[in-house]
Amino acid sequence: SAALKSATRLQKDPTSLKLYYSKGDPTSPLALLKNPDLYKVLQAMAEDKSAEPFYKGEFAKKFASVVEQNKGILSYQDLASYKSIESAPLKFSWNDFEVFTAPLTSGGITILQTLGILKEMQLNNLPEKDRLFARIEALRFAWRDRLNLLGDPDHAKVPQSKLLSSVYQKGCGEQILDAVKNNKCMPPSRPTTTQNGTINLSAIDALGNMAALTLTHGGYFGSQVSIEGLGITLGHGMSRFDIEPGRANSIAAGKRPLNNMAPTVVQHKFKTIAALGGRGGRRIPNAVFEVVYQMIAEKKSLEQALEAPRIHTEGNLEVYLEKGLNEQNLARLNTAGLKAKTGISAVISAVGRADENAPAVVSMR
């Protein structure tokens, strides 16, 4: 489906046309894509046992040349000076569970902030008819903070400690309880643009070691411009920045844009029971939150948590509910001032097991 949605622009780029369409229609289920140029790049890194051949030398020169030809600003020096960053995960505890997730500039903080708000407001003590509305308002609150306050903490003042503090989250919960009591939703966040893309791989081995790896190219096939001789299609991560100057996520040299990737690991009583992540642009943090919430707050198994219908909001008035959440929920939300409708969630890929003696669970939904 990604190739189909990107076909028009891919076919306008000569290298992309040659790479993806030289052997017929890549949207066919039986299509076989061969990319010998990419093999050469990967083989060179394997032989060198490092990424140096990619970031320096002839590969990098070709890369920078194509970016320049397409009026981009990434230079050879930018590639040569690139360094990966190893960061400690964010951590959250609730009901004998511990959640570890990717730190800024990824989407994990929004997941933990929402979980913290629900924990502080003791969601399960609310009447059942009010819990969905309260859960949505917690997500809307976290998204409002996400879009207004978050960015690269190395280049902007980001109140991460405040957003993850129990004092702040308790205050958020009090505002949400007032909204629920008065049946009136909180003010919306500022308008945003839709984002798509990303892929997640979750894996478990025979010893029970688990990992979740999320990669993003931006939207479908990124910029849809490919590099002759490298077999690589350029991404468009710059679109993740805020176009307004002076904000936490505004464009700046050396700055990482806010992204939605949220690979997450869940432990129960210090034993790892699940690793998960998602694909689906801005729907990813919410979908991961929904699965984790079902596991640690509702005490559901991983399979049950994956099957539970999900909600999606980005802090504005639009709210999307998967099928399985009945029409009465839509009516209640709409009377509170939201614009609720049936919609889709991100796709979650997850692995896990209930304990070391249980069979591994590998699932995607």
Q: Which residues are catalytic?
A: 198
Nearest residue to 267 via CA among 89, 87, 92: 92
Element (H, E) at 214: strand 210-215
CA–CA–CA angle 262, 263, 264 (5° rounding): 105
Which are the contacts of 300, defined by CB distance < 8 A and separation ≥ 6? 294, 308
- The residue count of the chain comes to 365
- The one-letter amino acid code at 90 reads L
Phi, psi of 44 (to 5 degrees): -65, -40
d(CA 119, CA 147): 22
Locus of tokens 């069979």: 359
CB-side neighbour CA atoms (13 Å) of 88: 3
Are the C-beta atoms of residues 111 and 101 closer than 8 Å to each other? yes
d(CA 63, CA 236): 14
